[in-house]
Amino acid sequence: MFHPFEFFLGFGVFAWLLGLLYFIFWVWMFIDCLQNPRLQSTEKLIWVLVLLFLHVLGPILYFLIGREHRV
C-alpha cells in the first residue's frame, strides 16, 4: 500500500542531507577564500561579500573562478 507520508519523509531526509552537504561546501569555500594567498585584500573582501550575499551561487562562482586550482 502506498503511504504518501513515507514518500515525503524520504524526500525530506534527502533534502536535509543535500542542504547539509551544500553548507559544508559553503564553509569550505569561505575558509579557502580567507586563506588564499593569491588574493589581495580587496579581492578577498569582494569574494567574501559574494559568498555572503549570493548564498547559493557564491560558493559555486568562487570554486569555478576565484579559487586557486592546485595540481
d(Cα 41, Cα 61) in Å, to the nearest integer? Answer: 18
Residue 46: inside a domain: yes
Residue 49: inside a domain: yes
Residue 27: inside a domain: yes
Residue 39: inside a domain: yes
CA torsion, points 44, 46, 51, 56, in degrees to nearest 10? -140
Nearest to 39 by CA among 2, 10, 68, 1: 68
pLDDT in tens, 49-63: 999 999 899 999 999
Residue 6: inside a domain: no
Q: What is the mean pLDDT of the chain?
A: 87
Domain count, the chain: 1
Q: Where does the pLDDT of residue 15 fall: very low under 50, low under 70, confident under 90, or very high at 90 and above? A: confident
Full-prediction pTM beyond 0.95? no
* Model pLDDT, residue 1: 56
Q: What is the DSSP letter of 2?
A: -
pLDDT in tens, 23-56: 999 999 999 999 998 999 999 999 999 999 998 9
Residue 13: inside a domain: no
Q: Which domain holds residue 68?
A: 22-71
Write down the residue that cell numbers 569555500 correspond to: 29
Residue 7: inside a domain: no
For residues 19 and 56, the answer to whether their CB atoms sit within 8 Å is no
